[in-house]
């Protein structure tokens, strides 16, 4: 999660507008990033996926370990409770207001070799600027966190060794993490509640509303998990409505698909210009022949 200096950089830069390219096949950053200490990350960049907060005994990268929708996915692993690994994407100018968020989805995989609690799977976080002001207030960042366990009946366990798809909509339960404040342990508040802004936040936490601005998404594992985890994520999607609707979709792949094979159509010798001239010449000959017959 961004530090306060990074949060200031994010919000200052989000004031600029940019055009989103949808449905991207993502093959970079390539290789596997091994974590250390309190976390390492790729150099920060807008409009690009980054491996973030990869802590000691953790690793992540685009690999073919668990291919999905092609030859790869974003593989991630941790060995114990000190581990963590995220993938994050921040759009220049943000994606729009929270009120305009129509929904989101992603695919995830939990390997049966995982020993952490069975109800834990990669979490999907929607990053927002709480008051929607990207210029004058730059540290009011919050995360709306999706975990499937809070959207299932008691006793739910994440399926293993098979890809799953989770979707986020108006009735989906999300909880809040606010840097500098912590995790607000209210797990039955829906996306629609935040969009309406009519709920009462816990003392110390700021109120998120429909005017809060969606800055990006962060998907990841860990931070206090008890045990080891191995799995992957893919096909992250965010759908925005409003005056400027857009769909942001990502498919992580090890390699780009081959370009389509273009079969050239045969062209007559001499090319189209020559054929046009030939046609005109034949028409003239026919006209002269008709004149001779009449004469």
Q: What is the mean pLDDT of the chain?
A: 88
Tens-place pLDDT, residues 133-146: 998 887 899 999 99
Relative to beta strand 182-184, strand 175-178 is antiparallel
Look at residues 100, 152, 143, 97 and name the one whose alpha carbon lies nearest to residue 124. 143
Phi, psi of 28 (to 5 degrees): -130, 155
pLDDT at 248 over 80: yes
Tens-place pLDDT, residues 69-126: 999 999 999 999 999 999 999 999 999 999 999 999 999 999 999 999 999 999 999 9
Tens-place pLDDT, residues 225-235: 999 999 999 99
- Cβ burial of 98 (10 Å; 0-12, 13-18, 19+) is buried
**Which residues on adjacent β-strands are paired with residue 250?**
24, 236
> What percent of the chain has pLDDT above 70?
82
Selected residue with higher pLDDT from 47 and 279 = 47
Tens-place pLDDT, residues 116-136: 999 999 999 999 999 999 988
CA 62 to mean position of chain CA atoms: 14
Q: What is the pLDDT of residue 15?
A: 44
Contact 237, 249 (CB under 8 A): yes
| DSSP reduced 3-state for 184 | strand
């Amino acid at each position: 999660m961004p530090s306060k200096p990074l949060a200031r950089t994010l919000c200052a830069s989000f004031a600029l507008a940019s055009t989103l390219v949808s449905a991207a096949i993502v093959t970079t950053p390539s290789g596997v990033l091994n974590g250390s200490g309190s976390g390492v990350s790729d150099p920060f960049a807008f409009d690009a996926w980054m491996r973030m907060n990869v802590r000691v005994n953790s690793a992540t990268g685009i690999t073919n370990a668990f291919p999905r929708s092609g030859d790869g996915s974003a593989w991630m692993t941790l060995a114990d409770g000190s581990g963590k690994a995220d993938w994050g994407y921040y759009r220049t100018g943000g994606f729009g207001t929270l009120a305009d968020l129509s929904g989101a989805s992603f695919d995830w995989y939990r390997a049966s070799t995982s020993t952490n609690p069975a109800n834990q799977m990669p979490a999907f976080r929607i990053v927002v600027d709480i008051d929607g002001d990207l210029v004058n207030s730059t540290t009011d960042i919050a995360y709306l966190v999706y975990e499937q366990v809070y959207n299932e009946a008691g006793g739910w366990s994440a399926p293993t060794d098979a890809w799953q798809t989770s979707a986020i909509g108006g009735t989906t339960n999300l909880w809040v993490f606010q840097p500098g404040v912590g995790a607000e342990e209210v797990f039955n508040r829906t996306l629609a509640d935040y969009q309406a802004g009519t709920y009462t936040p816990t003392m110390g936490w700021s109120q998120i509303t429909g005017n809060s601005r969606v800055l990006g998404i962060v998907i990841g594992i860990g931070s206090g998990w008890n045990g080891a985890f191995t799995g992957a994520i893919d096909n992250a999607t965010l759908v925005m409505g409003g005056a400027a609707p857009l769909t942001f979709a990502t498919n992580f792949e090890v390699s780009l698909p081959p370009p389509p094979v273009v079969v050239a159509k045969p062209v007559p010798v001499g090319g189209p210009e020559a054929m046009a001239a030939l046609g005109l010449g034949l028409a003239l000959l026919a006209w002269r022949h008709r004149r001779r017959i009449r004469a």
